[in-house]
Amino acid sequence: MNSLQQPRKWESFFWPLLTVAAFLALWHFAVVWTATKIFPSPLDVERGIVTLAHKNVLWLDIRDSLRRVAIGYGAAVVLGIPIGLILGWYPAINQVVNPAMQILRPISPIAWIPVAIIFFGIGDDSAVFLIFLSAFFPIVVACIDGVSNVPSMFRRAGRNFGLSPLQLLAKVVFPAALPRILIGLRISLGIAWLVVVAAEMIAVDSGLGYLIIDSRNSGKHYDLVVAAMLMIGVIGLILDLGFRRLEKMRSVRWGFRYES
């Protein structure tokens, strides 16, 4: 029964690799069958990646994109988690703040680009601001949801042991809400990685987003365009896998047990 429910170790590597190989083969033969002169084949993209790597362009663009995401996302985490915990802990405050937050939250971060350029100009600050906005609201909502869904019996038990409100929040409520918070952090990181590409197409002159738009404008180098797109996807996958591993850590399982 267990062998049917959980794939064997070799299968966890074999099937994803087979899927990637099938995708590359389909891509290659689609280019050959259509005889297109515009869209590149996998080999063309590979040569483009090698060229960018030898010129150190690719690594510098990856570094700049990751740096902007780290700053913007990090600021969203530092501010969003405490604010979300406070709003979840004090429903009266949340009721006052929630209408304004619900008005701002659905606005696409891309819609903020003109505002960001007005306030911060063309450069890193605009991109970081857009990344911050994209990650901030999902983190706050995840924290509010996590704290609000902690069973009341946990709070009563903590009070019976004489814990102060701050100790109760730190030692009982936050660990129990942590699984939901981590899900919000993971989702917000994916959104931030999407937004950095769009921001770099407009507000800065480096990064993977800029590489895409620059390669398209300077001679329509679609091999470099697709190469940058693939790098964005690969890095996004790596970031997501990192968070998945974090969710499985033993220090987090305490919260999952209490959720169930």
State pLDDT tens for residues 136-174: 999 999 999 999 888 888 878 878 777 777 888 888 888
- Token couple for 238: 């790596």
Phi and psi torsions of 126, nearest 5°: -65, -45
Indicate the pLDDT class of residue 10, thresholds 50, 70 and 90. Answer: low
Measured N-to-C along each axis, helices 42-54 and 57-89 cross at an angle, to the nearest 10 degrees, of 90
Listed ranges 8-17, 51-60, 69-78; the one with the highest mean pLDDT: 69-78
Indicate the pLDDT class of residue 55, thresholds 50, 70 and 90. Answer: confident
- Token couple for 24: 């590359």
Give the three-class secondary structure for 126.
helix
Beta carbons of 48 and 222 less than 8 angstroms apart: no
**Spans of all domains in the chain:** 40-259
Instruction: Classify domain 40-259 by CATH architecture.
Output: Orthogonal Bundle (1.10)
Give the integer Cα–Cα distance in Å for 202 and 219: 19
Beta-carbon-side half-sphere exposure of residue 164 (alpha carbons within 13 Å): 2
Predicted TM-score of the model (pTM): 0.84
Q: Output the pLDDT for position 73.
A: 96
What is the chain's alpha carbon radius of gyration, rounded to the nearest angstrom?
Answer: 23
Beta carbons of 171 and 163 less than 8 angstroms apart: yes
pLDDT tens readout for residues 23-46: 889 988 888 898 887 888 888 888
